[in-house]
Structure 1
Amino acid sequence: MGSRWSSEEERQPLLGPGIGPGLGAAWRSREAAAALPAAAAGPGRVYGRRWLVLLLFSLLAFVQGLVWNTWGPIQNSARQAYGFSSWDIALLVLWGPIGFLPCFAFMWLLDKRGLRITVLLTSFLMVLGTGLRCIPISDLMLKRRLIHGGQMLNGLAGPTVMNAAPFLSTTWFSADERATATAIASMLSYLGGACAFLVGPLVVPAPNGTSPLLTTESSRAHIKDRIEAVLYAEFGVVCLIFSATLAYFPPRPPLPPSVAAASQRLSYRRSFCRLLSNFRFLMIALAYAIPLGVFAGWSGVLDLILTPAHVSQVDAGWIGFWSIVGGCVVGIAMARFADFIRGMLKLILLLLFSGATLSSTWFTLTCLNSITHLPLTTVTLYASCILLGVFLNSSVPIFFELFVETVYPVPEGITCGVVTFLSNIFMGVLLFFLTFYHTELSWFNWCLPGSCLLSLLLILCFRESYDRLYLDVVVSV
Structure 2
Amino acid sequence: MGAAESTEGEREPLLVPAQPATNTTSTQPVFSRVYGRRWFVLTMFSLLGFMQGLVWNTWGPIQNSAKHVFEFSSTDIAILVLWGPVGYLPWLLFMWLMDKKGLRASLLLSAFFMVLGAALRSVPLKDLYYRRWMIHGGQLLNGLAGPTVMSAAPLLSTTWFAPDQRATATAIASLISYLGSACAFLIGPLAVPAPNDTEKLGNVIYWNQNHIGNRIQFVLYTEFGMIAALFVAVLFYFPSRPPIPPSVAAASQRLSYRSSICRLLSNMRFLMIALAYSVPTGVAAGWAGVLDMILTPAKVSQVDAGWIGFWSIVGGCVFGVAMARFADYIRGMLKLILVLMFAGASLAATWFTLTCLTRLTHLPSTKATLYTSCILVGIFINSSVPIFLELFIETVYPVPEGITCGVVTFLSNLFTGLLLFCLTFYFTELSWLNWCLTGSCIFSLLLLLLFRESYDRLYLDVFVSV
Provide the TM-score with structure 1 as the length reference: 0.91
Q: State the alpha-carbon separation in 1 of the partners of residues 193 and 223 from structure 2.
A: 18
Q: Is the 8 A contact 1:166 1:412 kept in 2?
A: yes
Q: State the alpha-carbon separation in 2 of the partners of residues 145 and 444 from structure 1.
A: 32
Q: Is the 8 A contact 2:15 2:31 kept in 1?
A: no
Offset of residue 36 of structure 1 = 2.9
Q: Does 2:226 match 1:237? A: yes
Count of aligned positions? 440
Q: State the alpha-carbon separation in 2 of the partners of residues 162 and 57 from structure 1.
A: 11
| Alignment match, 2:441 | 452
Q: Does 2:425 match 1:436? A: yes
Q: Is the 8 A contact 1:197 1:317 kept in 2?
A: yes
- The 5 Å alignment of 1:107-256 reads 107-209=95-197, 219-256=208-245
SS of equivalent to 1:114: helix
- The 5 Å alignment of 1:52-451 reads 52-209=40-197, 219-451=208-440
Q: Is the 8 A contact 1:39 1:256 kept in 2?
A: no
Q: Is the 8 A contact 2:99 2:403 kept in 1?
A: yes
Q: State the alpha-carbon separation in 1 of the partners of residues 12 and 191 from structure 2.
A: 56
Q: Does 2:14 match 1:36? A: yes
| Alignment match, 2:24 | none
Q: State the alpha-carbon separation in 1 of the partners of residues 416 and 243 from structure 2.
A: 41
Q: State the alpha-carbon separation in 1 of the partners of residues 16 and 246 from structure 2.
A: 10
Q: State the alpha-carbon separation in 2 of the partners of residues 34 and 200 from structure 1.
A: 48
Closer, same or farther: CA 192–217 of 1 in aligned 2, 3 Å: farther
Q: State the alpha-carbon separation in 1 of the partners of residues 271 and 109 from structure 2.
A: 30
Q: Is the 8 A contact 1:39 1:259 kept in 2?
A: no
SS of equivalent to 2:379: helix
Is there any run of 5+ residues in structure 2 with no aligned partner, and where? 1-10, 19-28, 199-204
Offset of residue 265 of structure 1 = 0.4
Offset of residue 441 of structure 1 = 1.2
Offset of residue 35 of structure 1 = 3.4
Q: Is the 8 A contact 1:43 1:475 kept in 2?
A: no
Is there any run of 5+ residues in structure 1 with no aligned partner, and where? 1-32, 211-215
Q: State the alpha-carbon separation in 1 of the partners of residues 207 and 304 from structure 2.
A: 22
Q: Is the 8 A contact 2:14 2:245 kept in 1?
A: no
SS of equivalent to 2:353: helix
SS of equivalent to 1:394: helix
Q: Deviations over 1:26-84 (max 9, x none)?
A: xxxxxxx9733457642511000000000000000000000000000000000001000
Q: State the alpha-carbon separation in 2 of the partners of residues 209 and 236 from structure 1.
A: 28
Identity rate of aligned residues, in percent?
72
Q: Deviations over 1:113-163 (max 9, x none)?
A: 001111111111101000001112100000000000000000000110000
Q: Is the 8 A contact 2:192 2:212 kept in 1?
A: yes
Matched to 1:45, the amino acid is R
Q: State the alpha-carbon separation in 1 of the partners of residues 366 and 140 from structure 2.
A: 39
Q: Is the 8 A contact 1:194 1:321 kept in 2?
A: yes
Q: State the alpha-carbon separation in 2 of the partners of residues 291 and 275 from structure 1.
A: 20
Alignment RMSD:
1.3
| Alignment match, 2:8 | none
Q: State the alpha-carbon separation in 1 of the partners of residues 87 and 289 from structure 2.
A: 16
Matched to 1:424, the amino acid is N
Q: Is the 8 A contact 2:161 2:169 kept in 1?
A: yes
| Alignment match, 2:454 | 465
Matched to 1:311, the amino acid is V
Q: Deviations over 1:169-192 (max 9, x none)?
A: 000001000000000000000000
